[in-house]
Amino acid sequence: MSHLKIKHFFPLIVLLVLYFVIRLQHLQAIPVFGDEAIYLRWSQLIKNVETLRFVPLSDGKEPLFMWLTAFTYKFISDPLIAGRFLSVIFGSFTLITLYLFGLFFINYQVSIISSLVYILIPFTFFFDRLALPDNLLSFLGMLSLFFAFLLAKYPRLDLSLILGVVLGLSWLTKSPAIYFVVLAVLTFVLFQKNNYQKIYFPLISAVMAFVIYNILRLGPQFSQIALRNRDYIWPLTEVLKHPFDPLMPHIKDIFAIYGEFISLPLIILGILGIFFSFKNKLFRHPLLLVVLWWILPILANAGIAKVFTARYILFTVPPLIILLATGIYYFFEYTREYFKNRLPQILILAICFVFNIYSLYRISVKPFFVTLSSTENGYLSGWTSGWGIKDASTYLIQRSKIANVIVGTEGYFGTLPDGLQIYTDGLKNLTIFGVGLDLTDVPEKLIDARQHGDEVYMLFNQSRLKLTPSELNKVSLVSRFSKPGNDNLLLYRLN
């Protein structure tokens, strides 16, 4: 670290400015979707009622992201912007950590390239702009990697304690943080292969992480975490019966996700980076450990996960970016002698990024027309997407100023009604609750409310509302909001 100079940090300032310019524009272009709605609603409940700070445990979710979002609500009134702005901030922290990792453990050029790759690939761009705990987990995972390397290189108690705090916060974010704990110990063992007597340093970090995680036992529904994890992963006994299923199908999913969110040219450069780095003695050792931080969690997830989507492997992207950046660096180094100047190299690199930059533009400016793969389509299409919710809330808020408004929505939680509740929180004359799925009749509770003089509405996806013709005569269509895939969000008013 002694060779670092102030000038090495000037590019970081420029990169951060570029990052925020790209990330903050059209932040609400994608409407709230199912999981976002749930997390943001929990955050509102935590802000409003102190005794509900552990409410995410009711669904087996660790609460750190919701705690932080609840704090952000004090400064930003729009709940969607508050949650997404927080994710943008976490993304900037990931970028900074990537930059510092390159400076400390590889070289100045790789630190710049890795930060630029982070800014320009759709994988990070997409999730940096959604209010999800996965983005916080990704940042804390990269921070764990950084301090695990520092501890391995400089075994000291202060670094051990800092690493323990980072690992503990990761564990308060999402359960996959257990990978970070294991990898931190493994990093120390492999780095300090001739100095095992100091193994107590990473063990202190692991114990500290466990202690911090057990703060969640203060919540009455702590046991729900283990129960809900079973909904997402196969038990080991089941995995051993068919070790290549779901492993092989999920490996195919990984390549599809990388092709969609990173692009093939950059992946090829990453493979070249791994190959060339092992030929270079200077980079061989640190990059071998980076490979482990990328490959081990992603293979573990592929081997045990029931559900496999891009955001569930987001926390493995920063280590992959380091490898991609190394590939780009070596491309410049190994092709320098074949070109008279750097212009051809820059043109080749620009071609590699053209697809990514175009994807960033479409996601931020024209998301309604973006078609994602089948594992990712819930963000922009289907019943989980929230097209029309904010417009519906605006209308209902206006009506609540002159009448008592009751709204029955599709489902019982998720995009509806939580997506509507986040925009109407605290309004006394506006009550929202779920009434179920695939309704063929108007619910009696809504009819009773109408008979008592309230204005009563129903908000449903057209594809999931099955009212019979006679029941349709009981309601009038107020608004129709278009959704991708020839679906609509329908706002009905009871006659």
Q: Give the pLDDT confidence of 208-251 residue by residue, as tens digits.
A: 999 999 999 999 999 999 999 888 899 888 888 888 889 999 99
User: What's the full length of the chain, in residues?
Assistant: 495
116 and 54 assigned to the same domain: yes
Q: Residues 184, 167: contact at Cβ < 8 Å?
A: yes
- The pLDDT of residue 273 is above 70: no
- Distance of alpha carbon 356 from alpha carbon 71, whole angstroms: 34
**Residue 375 belongs to a domain:** no
Neighbours of 119 (CB within 10 A): 23
Domain count, the chain: 2
Nearest to 80 by CA among 123, 72, 23, 46: 72
Residue 374 lies in a domain: no
Max avg pLDDT among 203-207, 349-353, 466-470: 203-207
Higher pLDDT, 341 or 106: 106
Would you say residue 83 lies in a domain? yes
- The structure's pTM equals 0.94
Q: What is the pLDDT of residues 148-203, one digit of tens each?
A: 999 999 999 999 999 999 999 999 999 999 999 999 999 999 887 776 778 999 99
330 and 421 share a domain?
Answer: no
CB 400 within 8 A of CB 373: no
Instruction: Return the DSSP state at 377.
Output: G
- Domain assignment of residue 186, yes or no: yes
Model confidence band, residue 76 (pLDDT cutoffs 50, 70, 90)? very high
Q: Is the pLDDT of residue 278 over 70?
A: no
Residue at 420 is within a domain? yes
* Residue partners of 432: CB distance under 8 A and separation at least 6: 407, 409, 417, 420, 421, 424
Q: Is residue 376 part of a domain?
A: no
**Domain shared by 360 and 413, yes or no:** no
Q: How confident is the model at residue 275 (pLDDT cuts 50, 70, 90)?
A: confident
Q: What is the pLDDT of residue 204?
A: 97
Q: What is the pLDDT of residue 2?
A: 45
- CA distance readout (Å), 452 to 202, 281, 315, 430, 491: 65, 79, 52, 15, 21
Is 399 in the same domain as 325? no
% of the chain surpassing 70 pLDDT = 97
Q: Is the same domain home to 89 and 206?
A: yes
At 326-377, the pLDDT tens digits run: 888 887 887 777 777 778 778 878 888 888 999 999 999 999 999 888 888 8
The verdict on residue 343 lying in a domain is yes
Residues 404 and 255 in one domain: no
Does 380 reside within a domain? no
CATH of residue 470: 3.40.190
In this structure, the answer to whether residues 354 and 210 fall within a common structural domain is yes
Residues 357 and 423 placed together within one structural domain of the fold: no
How far apart (Å, rounded) are the C-alpha atoms in residues 459 and 476? 12
Residue pair 41/421 in contact (Cβ under 8 Å)? The answer is: yes
What single-letter amino acid sits at 306? K
One domain, residues 354 and 402: no
Task: Give residue 240's domain range.
Answer: 6-367
